[in-house]
Amino acid sequence: MNGKTRNSQKDKRQRILKEAAREFVTKGYGGANVNVIAEKSGIGKGTLYLYFQSKAELFAEALKESNKLWMQKAGEMAQGKGDPLQSLRELLKVDVLLGVEHQELAQLWISSFFGDNRQFAGTAAEVLEEYAGLVESLVKDCIKRGLFRKVDPRLATYMLLGLNEITIAFYGPLLREMGEVEPVCDSLQKMVFDGLLKKG
Protein backbone atom coordinates (compact mmCIF):
# COMPACT_ATOMS: atom_id res chain seq x y z
CA MET A 1 0.00 0.00 0.00
CA ASN A 2 1.56 3.30 -1.05
CA GLY A 3 1.58 6.52 0.98
CA LYS A 4 -1.14 8.16 -1.11
CA THR A 5 -3.53 5.25 -0.51
CA ARG A 6 -2.80 5.25 3.22
CA ASN A 7 -3.45 8.99 3.45
CA SER A 8 -6.70 8.59 1.51
CA GLN A 9 -7.88 5.86 3.89
CA LYS A 10 -6.87 7.93 6.92
CA ASP A 11 -8.78 10.97 5.61
CA LYS A 12 -11.84 8.82 4.90
CA ARG A 13 -11.70 7.29 8.38
CA GLN A 14 -11.47 10.72 10.03
CA ARG A 15 -14.36 11.98 7.91
CA ILE A 16 -16.48 9.03 9.02
CA LEU A 17 -15.62 9.64 12.68
CA LYS A 18 -16.47 13.35 12.43
CA GLU A 19 -19.86 12.66 10.85
CA ALA A 20 -20.49 9.87 13.37
CA ALA A 21 -19.79 12.24 16.26
CA ARG A 22 -22.33 14.72 14.88
CA GLU A 23 -24.93 12.00 14.41
CA PHE A 24 -24.41 10.55 17.91
CA VAL A 25 -24.60 13.97 19.56
CA THR A 26 -27.70 15.03 17.60
CA LYS A 27 -29.71 11.81 17.84
CA GLY A 28 -28.11 9.82 20.65
CA TYR A 29 -26.61 6.38 20.18
CA GLY A 30 -29.99 4.66 19.86
CA GLY A 31 -31.32 7.11 17.27
CA ALA A 32 -28.11 7.41 15.26
CA ASN A 33 -28.31 5.86 11.80
CA VAL A 34 -25.25 4.22 10.25
CA ASN A 35 -26.70 4.74 6.77
CA VAL A 36 -26.91 8.49 7.40
CA ILE A 37 -23.33 8.55 8.71
CA ALA A 38 -22.11 6.72 5.61
CA GLU A 39 -24.07 9.00 3.27
CA LYS A 40 -22.79 12.20 4.90
CA SER A 41 -19.26 10.76 4.78
CA GLY A 42 -19.62 10.26 1.02
CA ILE A 43 -19.33 6.47 1.14
CA GLY A 44 -21.57 3.40 1.06
CA LYS A 45 -22.69 1.55 4.18
CA GLY A 46 -20.63 -1.48 3.13
CA THR A 47 -17.50 0.64 2.91
CA LEU A 48 -18.13 2.04 6.40
CA TYR A 49 -18.16 -1.49 7.79
CA LEU A 50 -14.71 -2.06 6.28
CA TYR A 51 -13.47 0.55 8.77
CA PHE A 52 -15.73 -0.18 11.75
CA GLN A 53 -17.39 -3.51 12.50
CA SER A 54 -20.34 -2.12 14.48
CA LYS A 55 -22.07 1.06 15.58
CA ALA A 56 -20.71 0.54 19.10
CA GLU A 57 -17.15 0.34 17.76
CA LEU A 58 -17.76 3.48 15.71
CA PHE A 59 -18.85 5.38 18.83
CA ALA A 60 -15.87 4.18 20.88
CA GLU A 61 -13.44 5.02 18.07
CA ALA A 62 -14.90 8.53 17.74
CA LEU A 63 -14.05 9.06 21.42
CA LYS A 64 -10.54 7.71 20.91
CA GLU A 65 -9.96 9.84 17.83
CA SER A 66 -10.94 13.01 19.66
CA ASN A 67 -8.62 12.06 22.52
CA LYS A 68 -5.73 11.81 20.02
CA LEU A 69 -6.38 15.40 18.97
CA TRP A 70 -6.40 16.61 22.58
CA MET A 71 -3.31 14.56 23.48
CA GLN A 72 -1.37 15.86 20.49
CA LYS A 73 -1.94 19.46 21.60
CA ALA A 74 -1.48 18.83 25.32
CA GLY A 75 1.45 16.41 25.37
CA GLU A 76 4.19 18.95 24.68
CA MET A 77 2.91 21.30 27.38
CA ALA A 78 2.74 18.59 30.02
CA GLN A 79 6.24 17.35 29.22
CA GLY A 80 7.78 20.80 28.92
CA LYS A 81 10.25 22.13 31.46
CA GLY A 82 9.81 25.27 33.50
CA ASP A 83 6.85 26.52 35.48
CA PRO A 84 4.31 23.68 35.95
CA LEU A 85 1.57 26.14 36.87
CA GLN A 86 2.01 28.02 33.61
CA SER A 87 2.04 24.71 31.73
CA LEU A 88 -1.14 23.67 33.51
CA ARG A 89 -2.84 26.96 32.68
CA GLU A 90 -1.90 26.64 29.01
CA LEU A 91 -2.97 23.00 28.83
CA LEU A 92 -6.38 23.79 30.35
CA LYS A 93 -6.82 26.75 28.00
CA VAL A 94 -6.02 24.61 24.96
CA ASP A 95 -8.56 22.08 26.23
CA VAL A 96 -11.32 24.70 26.14
CA LEU A 97 -10.21 26.21 22.82
CA LEU A 98 -10.24 22.77 21.18
CA GLY A 99 -13.62 22.01 22.70
CA VAL A 100 -15.17 25.16 21.29
CA GLU A 101 -13.48 24.69 17.91
CA HIS A 102 -14.45 21.01 17.63
CA GLN A 103 -17.92 21.15 19.15
CA GLU A 104 -19.08 17.83 17.71
CA LEU A 105 -16.23 15.96 19.41
CA ALA A 106 -16.54 17.84 22.70
CA GLN A 107 -20.29 17.27 22.80
CA LEU A 108 -19.68 13.57 22.20
CA TRP A 109 -17.70 13.46 25.45
CA ILE A 110 -20.26 15.50 27.34
CA SER A 111 -23.12 13.31 26.09
CA SER A 112 -21.20 10.21 27.19
CA PHE A 113 -21.03 11.40 30.78
CA PHE A 114 -24.21 13.45 31.15
CA GLY A 115 -26.45 13.07 28.09
CA ASP A 116 -28.11 10.55 25.81
CA ASN A 117 -25.02 8.38 25.43
CA ARG A 118 -24.32 7.55 29.06
CA GLN A 119 -24.10 3.84 28.30
CA PHE A 120 -20.60 4.74 27.02
CA ALA A 121 -19.55 6.53 30.22
CA GLY A 122 -17.20 3.67 31.12
CA THR A 123 -15.53 3.76 27.70
CA ALA A 124 -15.24 7.55 27.86
CA ALA A 125 -13.69 7.37 31.34
CA GLU A 126 -11.12 4.79 30.17
CA VAL A 127 -10.13 6.90 27.17
CA LEU A 128 -9.98 10.06 29.32
CA GLU A 129 -7.46 8.48 31.71
CA GLU A 130 -4.50 9.26 29.44
CA TYR A 131 -5.42 12.93 29.21
CA ALA A 132 -6.31 13.20 32.89
CA GLY A 133 -2.89 11.72 33.68
CA LEU A 134 -1.18 14.69 32.00
CA VAL A 135 -3.21 17.16 34.03
CA GLU A 136 -2.62 15.24 37.25
CA SER A 137 1.14 15.13 36.71
CA LEU A 138 1.20 18.94 36.48
CA VAL A 139 -1.02 19.29 39.56
CA LYS A 140 1.35 17.02 41.50
CA ASP A 141 4.33 19.07 40.35
CA CYS A 142 2.60 22.27 41.49
CA ILE A 143 2.01 20.69 44.93
CA LYS A 144 5.59 19.44 45.15
CA ARG A 145 6.99 22.88 44.36
CA GLY A 146 4.74 24.60 46.88
CA LEU A 147 2.69 26.41 44.25
CA PHE A 148 -0.49 24.64 45.42
CA ARG A 149 -1.45 23.73 48.96
CA LYS A 150 -1.58 20.01 49.71
CA VAL A 151 -4.76 18.69 48.12
CA ASP A 152 -5.79 15.39 46.59
CA PRO A 153 -4.26 15.69 43.09
CA ARG A 154 -6.83 13.35 41.54
CA LEU A 155 -9.77 15.34 42.87
CA ALA A 156 -8.11 18.58 41.79
CA THR A 157 -7.66 17.12 38.30
CA TYR A 158 -11.31 16.16 38.00
CA MET A 159 -12.36 19.57 39.31
CA LEU A 160 -10.29 21.36 36.67
CA LEU A 161 -11.43 19.10 33.84
CA GLY A 162 -15.03 19.38 35.03
CA LEU A 163 -14.84 23.17 34.96
CA ASN A 164 -13.50 22.98 31.42
CA GLU A 165 -16.33 20.66 30.32
CA ILE A 166 -18.89 23.09 31.74
CA THR A 167 -17.14 26.03 30.05
CA ILE A 168 -17.20 24.24 26.69
CA ALA A 169 -20.83 23.20 27.07
CA PHE A 170 -21.99 26.65 28.23
CA TYR A 171 -19.84 28.83 26.00
CA GLY A 172 -22.17 28.86 22.99
CA PRO A 173 -25.51 29.38 24.75
CA LEU A 174 -24.42 31.36 27.83
CA LEU A 175 -20.85 32.63 27.92
CA ARG A 176 -20.27 33.89 24.38
CA GLU A 177 -21.89 37.23 25.23
CA MET A 178 -19.12 37.77 27.80
CA GLY A 179 -16.43 37.83 25.12
CA GLU A 180 -14.10 35.64 23.10
CA VAL A 181 -13.44 32.19 24.49
CA GLU A 182 -9.80 32.77 25.46
CA PRO A 183 -10.41 35.78 27.78
CA VAL A 184 -13.43 33.99 29.28
CA CYS A 185 -11.22 30.99 29.96
CA ASP A 186 -8.55 33.22 31.52
CA SER A 187 -11.12 34.82 33.83
CA LEU A 188 -12.45 31.45 34.98
CA GLN A 189 -8.91 30.17 35.60
CA LYS A 190 -8.15 33.24 37.69
CA MET A 191 -11.18 32.56 39.86
CA VAL A 192 -10.14 28.95 40.35
CA PHE A 193 -6.45 29.51 41.04
CA ASP A 194 -6.87 32.71 43.08
CA GLY A 195 -10.04 31.56 44.85
CA LEU A 196 -13.31 33.36 45.43
CA LEU A 197 -12.83 34.02 49.13
CA LYS A 198 -11.66 37.50 49.98
CA LYS A 199 -8.27 37.40 51.64
CA GLY A 200 -7.17 39.55 54.56
93, 186 in Cβ contact below 8 A?
yes
Residue 26 phi, psi dihedral angles, 5° rounding: -70, -40
Of the pLDDT bands very low, low, confident and very high (cuts 50, 70, 90), residue 107 is confident
pLDDT surpasses 90 at 145: yes
What's the chain's average pLDDT?
88
SS (H, E, C) the chain: CCHHHHHHHHHHHHHHHHHHHHHHHHHHHHHCCHHHHHHHCCCCHHHHHHHCCCHHHHHHHHHHHHHHHHHHHHHHHHHCCCCHHHHHHHHHHHHHHHHHHCHHHHHHHHHHHHCCCHHHHHHHHHHHHHHHHHHHHHHHHHHHCCCCCCCCHHHHHHHHHHHHHHHHHHHHHHHHHHCCHHHHHHHHHHHHHHCCCCCC
**Rounded average pLDDT over 151-167:** 95
Extents of the domains making up the chain: 55-194
1 has a pLDDT exceeding 60: no
Work out the pLDDT band at 66, boundaries 50, 70, 90. confident
Instruction: Please count the CA atoms within 13 angstroms of the CA of 117 that sit on its side-chain side.
Output: 30
For range 60-65, the mean pLDDT: 88
Q: What is the CATH number of domain 55-194?
A: 1.10.357.10
How far, in Å, CA of 111 to CA of 25, rounded?
A: 7
Q: How confident is the model at residue 7 (pLDDT cuts 50, 70, 90)?
A: low
* pTM to 2 decimal places: 0.82
